[in-house]
Structure 1
Amino acid sequence: AQPSPGEAVRAPAFQAVLVALIGFTATEAPVPEPAAEGAPPAVTPLNPDDARRFLRKRLQRLHEQALRDGGRFESLDTDSQHRVRKRLKRLRYLAEFAAPLFETRDEKKSDDKSAAERYLKRLRPAQDALGEYNDEAVAMALYREATAHDARAWFAVGWFSARHAAGAAACREALEKIEGAPRFWKKRKN
């Protein structure tokens, strides 16, 4: 019987490989050594503790940026609002990728939701709100372009324009709710 993909990914051996990969990608650019010509420079990967520290900093930074930008979402220009959405996606993807590295033994044995799952659950409403808002902004821009050759497109532009402020407010409110989400990457006191 083969393990399920989820079991395989959660296996300690696979997680050790992920930590090594994270450590490898988090290293600074190698300084060329005057070694043999054509030989690749030596790269020293981060150890698991340094990799976790690196991930903690990155997760915390993305989390703080989401909160900062969320509080002023309505006053941001369209490109900056879209950047908030991309950062939130980065936060989610990194959180999903790194979550097993921060799971406690009790969480691994329990059927209850892990701290990472609870955190990710708090991100979803903000992602949904930002996704819907972005879709409407793109649609409004397309309908604006269509007004050049079809006057009926003005109806859609008006409809999306009327929803725009409420959509931005919904995004701000959803992003503010992330603030209370317990960060699973925080060091736990023993």
Structure 2
Amino acid sequence: MKITPTKIPDVLLIEPKIFSDERGFFYESYNQKTLFNQVNITQHFVQDNHSRSVKNVLRGLHYQINQPQGKLIKAILGEIFDVAVDLRTSSQYFGQWVGVNLSAENKQQLWIPPGFAHGFLVLSDYAEILYKTTDFYAPEHERTIIWNDPEIGINWSLTESPILSAKDQAGKYLKSAEVYP
């Protein structure tokens, strides 16, 4: 695996080594030993989630204020623009974001450690993502930052208004949101 820090060094782009031939392909999408040794991801994954969305759906920016989740995300069908926002007030990157395109074609993954909000925009006709989390889903602790907060300034490269859930439409601005120490 090739592991590359993003502009927020704790958020990592993970590129697997892919073995392809006329039959198809094979790659190792998760190896605890490799991630522990190369990246020092010491948390254990406790839950796998599978999400399917249609084009122009924007989900996020979600996080859990208690039981914060680290996430290892990959697209298995289609393509998404995946975003992480640093919500750790102790970090020099607080309030900054990083975004990458994840697709079934590029097979890249994004590691987002605990302490970040996460969201994505579907770029293809539909997309399915799989992601591992380091803590269980706890709806009572879930929080949402508004996707278009000007203080954060995410460049979603939208050509039309995104499709949002009621929860995502009601997200808070960073300046009034609960954040991490």
The answer to whether the superposition gives a TM-score over 0.5 is no
TM-score bracket for the superposition, by shorter chain length: under 0.3
The higher-RCO structure (CA 8 Å, 6+ apart) is 2
Q: Please identify the structure whose Cα radius of gyration is greater.
A: 1
Q: Which one has a larger percent helix, Structure 1 or Structure 2?
A: 1
TM-score by length of 2: 0.25
TM-score by length of 1: 0.24
